[in-house]
Structure 1
Amino acid sequence: MVNNINFRKSTSAQLDVLVLGGFVLVKLILPFFLVNTAYSLHRDEFLHLDQAHHLAWGFQSVPPLTSIFAVIIQFLGGSEAAVRLVTASIGALTLIFTWKIVAEFKGRLYAKALSAIALICCAVGRLDLLFQPNAFDILSWTAIYFFLIRYFNTRANKYLYLTGVALGIGFLNKYSICFLIAGLIPALFIANQRKIYASKHLYGAGLIALLIMLPNLLWQYHHHFPVVGHMKELARTQLDKINRVDFLKDQLLYYFNIIFIVLAGLWALVLSKTFSSYRWIVIGFVISLALFTWFRAKAYYAAGLYPVIIAAGCSYLALQFNQGWKRKYLRALIVILPLALFSVTLKYAYPVLSPQQIVGSHDKYARVGALRWEDGLQHDLPQDFADMLAWKEMAALTDIAYAKVKDKSALLVRADNYGEAGAINYYSKFKNINAVTYNADYLYWFKMDKPIKHVILVRESNEEDPQRKKEQPFFKKITKIGEVTVPYAREKGAAVFLLEDATIDINSRVQTEIEEEKHDH
């Protein structure tokens, strides 16, 4: 009898691993089918990829962890496929942690599989598509939830220390993890888990987290906390345009495909006796979401809050639909529904359609708010999609200019923004082209060790001086190489100029402009 029970447990465990492996495989290959060939990488990805060449304990725009992933991508060949694979792998780890949270909630295979489907079909899956800190941000939040839940279920102190490790590494990825902690600290006190504050191991875990964070904190201190300037600029140029009500509306939109699972998770954590020991999760969720709303955060900043809610929802629904006709019909329905809605909303969330196809369906995209950019205005394409166009053409134009210069050591390639500079460095056939800009981290990456005699200038389409009259007194020859012509690209109309044979000291002028930009930030 005992052997029979053990056999069933072993078979069940093997099936669990097999099904989980299948979902992980789907997660890894799905990104390669969700991006139309008309698109390349996203402007933000280029900045993070370039950080691999400038490893440090911090950057102006982000903490240092993304640069480590950039090094891994380089090791894998640096191709677009390598970029997609690394980000998909991070998403797969989030799926695994969510699966394990379901297990902690006593959910069985059905609930686990439903959680995997839910993650793939909601905004969490969308954020795993691009090489940005967002994917690992969601992973680190989910890991923290898992380790805390595991601690409360087992009282094994090692999970507190693992929570500290996850927090420290998460901080090195994105500072917004502080919003999670700001929610969890009062939540644990308000709920029935306040005894945790009497544990010396909690403070030991906090010390470990602080030690992991310390190199970045010291870097921030020695560089006069550039993160403060970055946040001020972000607030001035983007966050102040975000309506708080729109932030909350977007929470519903991002999880529309699985909204019944999210609501079930919240219901379970608030009202179900089965989940009474996990009330702190929903209290923390509300506090963190309120803080994000107050500070006018972008809607996706809160994505890390949802995997644990999804896990609770899947576990609760599986428990409720466990007998009779509910088990036979409703269990199938709640698997089919997210997949059906995902198939309908897919074209709005992912760049599966060409720009021309999207423009042809303008009204449909506008109705769901997909064409509203950070400037608050409606455009032809979703912003992220427009940020994935024209980079190869821009790099090709820059290469034409670069090839014309004989003395490459006396050449500076300067773009208008980090997307342009990073794209040129990534797609150029000249691997030492070293394009820079007075923008983001590139401000610290200028090479000024040799006299600059020639400049390749990349200017945005809204440039006030298209004839380069400003630079004409300083160079003997100025040639316009061409303009970006890719339709609907955010960079359409950007121009590439070759400025040759400087008549003044360009180095000192550039250095002055760099210092002015640093002061402004």
Structure 2
Amino acid sequence: MNPQRDRAAAVPGPWQPVVVPTTRQPFASRGVALVAAAVGVVLLALSGRYGYHRDELYFVAAGKHLAWGYPDQPPLVPLLARLADLVAPGSLVALRLPSTLAAIAIVTLTAAIARELGAKREGQVIAASAAATCGLVLAMTHLLSTSTFGLLGWTLLTLLLVRILQDGATLGRWVAVGAVAGLTAQSNPLVGLLLVVLVAALAAVGPRQLLREPGLYVAGAIAVVVIAPYLFWQHTNGWPQLDVARGIANGESGSSEPRALFVPMQLLLVGPLLTPFWVVGLVRLLRMPSVRVLGATYLGLAALLLLLGGKPYYLAGLYPLLLAAGAQPVVYRIKVPACVALLGLSVPAVVFTLPVLPAAQAGIPVAVNYDVGETIGWPDLVKQVAATHRTLPEGTAIVAGNYGLAGAVDRYGPDLGLPPAHSGHMAYWLWGPPPDEADSVLAIGVDPDVLDDAFTTCREVGVLENRWGIDNDEDGTTMLACTGLTRPWVDNWPAFRRP
């Protein structure tokens, strides 16, 4: 038994009339398994509803151009999209199955963290249930995204770090930390920011002896080796990820929020009724000497993201830890039935994170959750593109203003006789312009100034409409028919590039 662990666990948290047990409790395997299975069943049942997210269409396209990196992401998620498309071409269920499995793992790991922090069986099940009803967890694990596996990786990392902090550091644990960090970075490089803030927090609040542990530097070396191919790709391509980050900081992403909303959005994203769990968890971590550094890491990372203009959901990976830390103290304070009631009242929030309502009635969820709107209407929009394209000269190329539109044309267009799409957005720009003989294009949502410079004539030939009345980024997009290429495509193409 670790004396430091005993002393840390004995520190009372807020709302906690009795001391959290000082020894590791048995794992509530049956209860946690039931919660995790319920989440998996719900996500699996809803995974085919609505349609692809614009990012998923991009991942499928990127999976057909496998590389060690892309302007806006590492290679892991496009690789998963490629594998899913090979196993079950065109299947949303198959594409999102890795995310469903990630959700099951996140729920289970949250319970495991709660156990490491002294939670009894009921506390572990409550922690798992809090993760299962958390809006961030459900939204991120419904779709295939870089955030999905960032969330999974951060949750596993925090479990490993809790074990190191409470039970002592071993080389094996540090190796695991390095491997998990590296693999997580192959999905979402934000984990590097987490580790930088963690080291700074160790220097600020301790335990500082970990900074002298050789294993810490072994972990760092392993993480760098795993992510090195992606870093090399970024280096050789001029670090386009930094341009993407600057665009996000300037609010150019559809899911960006003003800095003033960063803190309030934490309450909304996790779920207002789950606030007692994670706030108590944060305060408890800050009061526990052995794991205080993790609470300080959350605060430090929140401050840094606010300063840099990061998206509010970038903190998502630390909420399973906070929910786990707060579960048992809240159980002690308000008892299990009240906790169950809070969790039960949180369930209706799935309407805003999962495709529960018919698409025609999704207007309210879309007003709250931008990403819902980006999953509705793609096949219908491509049919509109195809109908317009048939009125244009043979050999007319298609150039789209963003990777979602381009990915939709590439996914649904072949069955409608459409040529491959081209776009200057993100990795699509790297995949090249239309062929030189394409003197005519159907431009969808492309900057008119760029088109006026590239062609002698452009005229409006249609406007995309969402027949369900959903207000998303594509609804109202103008289609232009342009002819008379002013220069060869190789000379025009740089002007089409956008991060």
Question: Same fold per TM (> 0.5)?
Answer: yes
Amino acid at match of 1:424: V
Give the counterpart of 1:54 among 62, 65, 86.
Answer: 65
Are residue 457 (structure 1) and residue 434 (structure 2) matched? no
Give the counterpart of 2:312 among 299, 318, 329.
Answer: 299
The 5-angstrom pairing of residues 387-398 of structure 1 reads 387-398=374-385
Are residue 91 (structure 1) and residue 103 (structure 2) matched? yes
Task: Give deviations 1:334-371, integer Å, cap 9, x for gaps.
Answer: 1221122322x333344433465455xx6xx7xxxx73
What is the TM-score when the length of structure 2 is the normalising length?
A: 0.83
Secondary structure of the corresponding residue to residue 456 of structure 1:
strand
Task: Give deviations 1:387-420, integer Å, cap 9, x for gaps.
Answer: 222211122233445667897xx55321121111
Q: 1:338, 1:433 → 2: CA distance?
A: 49
1:449 offset after TM fit, Å?
5.9
Task: Give deviations 1:252-290, integer Å, cap 9, x for gaps.
Answer: 22231211111221232233xxx4311111111111111
Show the counterpart of 1:341: 346
Are residue 488 (structure 1) and residue 474 (structure 2) matched? no
Q: 1:292, 1:35 → 2: CA distance?
A: 31
Task: Give deviations 1:183-225, integer Å, cap 9, x for gaps.
Answer: 2112223334211122212111111111112111111111111
Give the counterpart of 1:268 among 247, 269, 284.
Answer: 284
Show the counterpart of 1:206: 220
1:158 offset after TM fit, Å?
0.7
Secondary structure of the corresponding residue to residue 397 of structure 2:
strand
Q: 2:230, 2:145 → 1: CA distance?
A: 18
Alignment CA distance shift 1:108-1:440 (3 Å): same
Q: 1:454, 1:175 → 2: CA distance?
A: 39
Show the counterpart of 1:43: 54
The 5-angstrom pairing of residues 4-403 of structure 1 reads 16-32=28-44, 37=49, 39-77=50-88, 78-122=90-134, 123-152=136-165, 153-238=167-252, 242-255=257-270, 256-271=272-287, 275-318=288-331, 320=332, 330-343=335-348, 345-354=349-358, 356-357=360-361, 359=363, 371=367, 382-400=369-387
Amino acid at match of 1:458: I
Higher relative contact order (CA 8 A, sep 6+): 2
Secondary structure of the corresponding residue to residue 371 of structure 1:
helix
Q: 1:48, 1:142 → 2: CA distance?
A: 24
> Any conservation in 1 of the 2:388–2:461 contact (CA below 8 Å)?
no
Task: Give deviations 1:470-508, integer Å, cap 9, x for gaps.
Answer: 888569xx8947743422242223355666xx6657xx5
Q: 2:46, 2:273 → 1: CA distance?
A: 17
> Any conservation in 1 of the 2:423–2:496 contact (CA below 8 Å)?
no
Alignment CA distance shift 1:46-1:358 (3 Å): closer
Q: 1:187, 1:470 → 2: CA distance?
A: 52
Secondary structure of the corresponding residue to residue 282 of structure 2:
helix
Q: Is 142-151 or 211-220 further displaced after alignment?
A: 142-151
> Any conservation in 1 of the 2:286–2:293 contact (CA below 8 Å)?
no
Alignment CA distance shift 1:432-1:464 (3 Å): closer
Q: 1:232, 1:286 → 2: CA distance?
A: 23
> Any conservation in 2 of the 1:16–1:109 contact (CA below 8 Å)?
yes
Q: 1:264, 1:504 → 2: CA distance?
A: 63
Show the counterpart of 2:410: 425
Secondary structure of the corresponding residue to residue 128 of structure 1:
helix
Q: 2:466, 2:362 → 1: CA distance?
A: 18
Alignment CA distance shift 1:278-1:52 (3 Å): same
Q: 2:143, 2:226 → 1: CA distance?
A: 26
Alignment CA distance shift 1:18-1:432 (3 Å): farther
Amino acid at match of 1:254: L
> Any conservation in 2 of the 1:458–1:496 contact (CA below 8 Å)?
yes
Are residue 413 (structure 1) and residue 398 (structure 2) matched? yes
Q: 1:277, 1:212 → 2: CA distance?
A: 29
Secondary structure of the corresponding residue to residue 384 of structure 2:
helix
Give the counterpart of 1:513 among 467, 474, 492.
Answer: 492
Secondary structure of the corresponding residue to residue 457 of structure 1:
strand
Secondary structure of the corresponding residue to residue 367 of structure 2:
coil
Show the counterpart of 1:378: none
1:242 offset after TM fit, Å?
3.8
Secondary structure of the corresponding residue to residue 432 of structure 2:
coil
Amino acid at match of 2:156: A
Alignment CA distance shift 1:314-1:175 (3 Å): same
> Any conservation in 1 of the 2:401–2:445 contact (CA below 8 Å)?
yes
> Any conservation in 1 of the 2:355–2:372 contact (CA below 8 Å)?
yes
Structure 1 gaps of 5+ residues are: 1-11, 373-381
> Any conservation in 2 of the 1:28–1:85 contact (CA below 8 Å)?
no
Amino acid at match of 1:220: Q
Structure 2 gaps of 5+ residues are: 1-24
Q: 1:18, 1:106 → 2: CA distance?
A: 18
Amino acid at match of 1:516: A
> Any conservation in 2 of the 1:169–1:213 contact (CA below 8 Å)?
yes
Amino acid at match of 1:426: R
> Any conservation in 2 of the 1:401–1:498 contact (CA below 8 Å)?
no
Identity %: 21
Alignment CA distance shift 1:147-1:469 (3 Å): closer
1:75 offset after TM fit, Å?
3.0
Amino acid at match of 2:237: H
> Any conservation in 2 of the 1:182–1:288 contact (CA below 8 Å)?
no
